[in-house]
């Protein structure tokens, strides 16, 4: 594949983690710079956008996965090119899940870029997971690692994710025959302005970088698996 063709192929990122760790909060924070307190949580949300990656426009698809959809984890593994694994520093169980997922990714998707994020670092008094423990685990499995507070500020989070996208793009150039697919399950398209408008309030200006938001229900997720397997 030529460089221009490769660059037009969207970078596909799955955001994984147990319930309530802040997957939706950090995805929306990164794309809109806004922090929103509550989100719907029973389904995957697919954000399609064009971002500046390493100084050039790059189509990016970010799947904010729903923790209530365990059976779709295989689909996410096959669909995505890179993974952001989130846990909450206030929730040891969410860290255990994230740790085993990072390990699984290192075994099943060894060539993929993986970023582990310890979210809610602002909640010092409730901390259950030490930074050094997560850092060492990430290092062992070749994953990047950062602690962030999605609630407190968007600047560090943006820096971390911008850099991660840059690494994924570089990895593409290095790797030949990467597992990118063009599978396209039937998707329910919504007006992004309307959807985010309902999340962030009617009078807020529409977010700039997102071009499309797609909600995947259970049936559509299983099609995602089938499409991925055909590649
Ligand atoms: N204090 C604090 N709260 C946060 C932070 N990030 C997210 N939250 C809160 O954590 C709760 C869960 O956030 P969500 O983004 O819905 O979590 P999720 O992982 O998408 O949850 P599911 O949809 O159940 O999978 C919400 O009340 C957020 O406002 C953070 O950095 N600090």
Of 116 and 205, more confident:
116
**Structure tokens, 99:** 């740790």
The closest-lying atom of ligand 1 relative to the alpha carbon of residue 42 is 23
- Asked if ipTM goes beyond 0.95, one says yes
Q: What is the pLDDT of residues 94-141, one digit of tens each?
A: 999 999 999 999 999 998 999 999 999 999 999 999 999 999 999 999
Q: How many domains does the chain have?
A: 1
Look up the pTM and report it.
0.82
Structural domain that includes position 222: 3-230
Q: Residue of the nearest CA to atom 28 in ligand 1?
A: 37
Q: What is the CATH number of the domain that holds 56?
A: 3.40.50.300
Distance (Å) from CA 48 to ligand 1 centroid:
21
Q: Please give the distance, rounded to the nearest whole angstrom, from the Cα atom of residue 166 to the centre of ligand 1.
A: 26
Q: Please indicate whether residue 27, judged by its CB atom, sits closer than 6 Å to ligand 1.
A: no
């Amino acid at each position: 594949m030529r460089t221009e063709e490769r660059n037009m192929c969207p970078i596909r990122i799955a955001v994984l983690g147990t319930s309530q760790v802040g997957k939706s909060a950090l995805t929306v924070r990164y794309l809109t710079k806004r922090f929103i307190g509550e989100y719907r949580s029973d389904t995957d949300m697919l954000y399609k956008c064009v971002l500046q990656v390493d100084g050039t426009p790059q189509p990016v698809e970010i799947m904010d996965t729903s923790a209530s959809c365990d059976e779709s984890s295989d689909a996410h593994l096959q669909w995505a090119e890179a993974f952001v694994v989130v846990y909450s520093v206030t929730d040891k169980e969410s860290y255990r899940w994230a740790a085993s997922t990072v390990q699984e990714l290192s075994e099943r998707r060894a060539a993929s870029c993986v970023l582990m994020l310890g979210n809610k670092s602002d909640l010092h008094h409730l901390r259950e997971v030490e930074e050094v423990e997560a850092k060492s685990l990430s290092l062992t499995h070749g994953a990047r690692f950062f602690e962030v507070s999605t609630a407190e500020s968007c600047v560090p989070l943006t820096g971390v994710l911008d850099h991660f996208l840059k690494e994924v793009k570089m990895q593409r150039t290095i790797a030949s025959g990467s597992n990118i697919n063009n599978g396209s399950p039937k998707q329910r398209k919504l007006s992004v302005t309307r959807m985010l408008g309902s999340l962030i309030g009617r009078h807020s200006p529409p977010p700039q970088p997102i071009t499309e938001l797609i909600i995947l229900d259970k049936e559509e997720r299983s099609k995602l698996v089938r499409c991925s397997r055909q590649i």
